[in-house]
Amino acid sequence: MQAQLISPQEDDREKGRDLQDFQRAMLNILEDFGEEKARFVQVQTATLNILEDFDTEKKRLEIMQTATLNILEDFSEERNRFAQVQTATLNILEDFDEEKKRLEQSQRAFLNILEDIDVEKGKVTNAYQRIEAVNKELEEFAYAASHDLKAPLRVIDNASKWLEEDLQEHLTAETRENMSLMRGRIGRMEKLLDDLLEYSRIGRSVDERYAEIVTGDALMGNILGLLSPPEGFTVKVSPGFAGIHVRRMPLQQILMNLISNAIKHHDKKKGYIEVTVEDNGAYYAFAVKDDGPGIPARFHDQIFKMFQTLKPRDQMEGSGMGLAMVRKNVEVFGGTLNLESSEGKGSLFRFTWPKQQQIKGEDA
């Protein structure tokens, strides 16, 4: 077979075509490379975005981990607190059981006290009934002493007068003196019986005089009219009496006894007695002051007892009941009484008197 010869021109054209094909292939490759490069850039950008998102998520994860740890710590603290609360609750329940037991004991004790009160109330009721019975007996006795015992005294008094009249020619001076002394003792006994009856009735028996309202100056005028102070004695009444209104009794008896004692026990023929009153709100404060011989401190309690006098009976007529009745009246009607005195310096009797005087069987 005979080889085919190729001319140089054809060879160059062939090479030119090959070169063009190569160039076109290279261009295609470059185009493909540009697309791949673009794709790579996109992939790289996406990768960077993913990495950035990963960092963000990583930070979020770290925050969540930190929050989770904090929650776990708080949970541990709350768990500890819950355990403490649970322990405290158990302690409270234990204390509640103890308190419940104490309350039950207190209730039982209270019921026992109520039972004791009922028993004591019954005893008090019985005692009150006995006291009422005793008081009634005492009142009956006082009435008997005041009336039945005075009858023979009057007989003795009248008999002594009749004897003195019938035997007048035969009586000596000494006999007459003895008869007079006997009648004096009879009078003192009658006065003692009257005072005993009055003392027993204080706070238990009243009459219309206990409801009568008078002014203070009218009260004092009546007292001074009944006493008729002897010549040489001055009784000064403070202006405060004109502005008060009081129940006549037993205030009249109290002031009369105090003024009478100041006159009767004075050691001189002349004396000065001052009677005052002050308004102290719910109470009146009365005072009776004299310039007499005074009372030694050792006798301050004794003089308020029944039948007590500081002078012998022969030197001082009286039952010894005056100050005892003063004290009982003041205390029964809700006041207080005290004495300020010393030997040689006069005496000052002070007592308080409630404005709302309570009368037995009447509201204040």
Mean pLDDT over 230-238 rounds to 92
Residues written for the chain: 364
User: pLDDT-based confidence at 205, cuts 50/70/90?
Assistant: low
- pTM of the full structure: 0.55
Mean pLDDT score of the chain: 81
DSSP secondary structure of 238-286: -GGGGG-EEESTTHHHHHHHHHHHHHHT-SSSSEEEEEEEEEETTEEEE
**Following CA atoms 298, 300, 301, 302 in sequence, which dihedral angle do they give, to the nearest 10 degrees?**
80
Identify the pLDDT of residue 146.
Answer: 66
Most confident of 13-17, 137-141, 256-260: 256-260
Nearest to 289 by CA among 225, 351, 214: 351
At what angle are helices 251-264 and 322-332 packed, to 10 degrees? 150
Q: pLDDT per residue over 269-295, tens digit each?
A: 899 999 999 998 899 999 999 998 988
One of 3.30.465.10, 3.90.550.10, 3.90.420.10, 3.30.565.10 is the CATH number of 214-364, namely 3.30.565.10
Identify the pLDDT of residue 315.
Answer: 52
Q: pLDDT per residue over 14-27, tens digit each?
A: 877 878 888 888 88
Please say if the pLDDT value at position 133 is more than 60. Answer: yes
Instruction: Report the run of H or E that residue 237 belongs to, with start and end.
Output: strand 233-237
Per-domain boundaries in the chain: 214-364
User: pLDDT-based confidence at 347, cuts 50/70/90?
Assistant: very high
Q: Which of 122-131, 184-193, 248-257 has the lowest mean pLDDT?
A: 184-193
Instruction: Report the run of H or E that residue 338 belongs to, with start and end.
Output: strand 337-341
Q: pLDDT per residue over 69-109, tens digit each?
A: 888 887 888 888 888 888 888 888 888 888 888 888 888 88
